[in-house]
Amino acid sequence: MRKGRAGTMTHDYKRHGTTTPFAAFNVLDGKVIGRCMQRHRHREFIRFLNAVGHEIASDRAIHVIPDNYATHKHPKVVQWPGRHPRWTFHFTPTSASWLNAVEGFFAILSRRRLKRGVCSGVVDLQAAINRFLADHNLQPKPFIWKADPEMILAPAARGHQTLESIH
């Protein structure tokens, strides 16, 4: 075992496969629409977007906040909202995943269900994730931003000031 890995991996750890969770987090009511897929390509992302669109009333606008992962910037994904006018994409800045509420949900999923969990295979892993989603949606809580905007913007202002002084 390597230094620092004792708490997460044992000598007999065996990886039984992986899955890619996709999630749409409604910040207004706290409900999550989620799907597990084999891969994280643009095809799977578009398939997930279509599934979300079917679950949300057709008169509702949908705002998606993806990160800058290459899949989310694929030309077919970039063109997709043009054919679906109620959808708007708002990309987070690089290295700013903390701005995306669904990342917080993924952290809770990892901490409460997946970390130190034992799954005998991909199907078992997907079932565990789906159970967690179902349990979460029984008592969802709206997302309430607790960070102070001044504390968020101060480092950005310092960065801009430093850049200006260099140039």
Domains identified in the chain and CATH numbers: 20-166 (3.30.420.10)
Q: Tell me, what DSSP letter sits at residue 24?
A: E
Rounded-to-integer distance, Cα 36 and Cα 122, Å: 10
Task: Please name the amino acid found at residue 54.
Answer: H
Higher pLDDT, 49 or 93: 49
In this prediction, residue 88 carries a pLDDT of 94
Sign, CA dihedral 71-77-81-86, equals: negative
- Under the banding of pLDDT at 50, 70 and 90, the label for residue 143 is confident
Assign 74 to helix, strand or coil.
coil
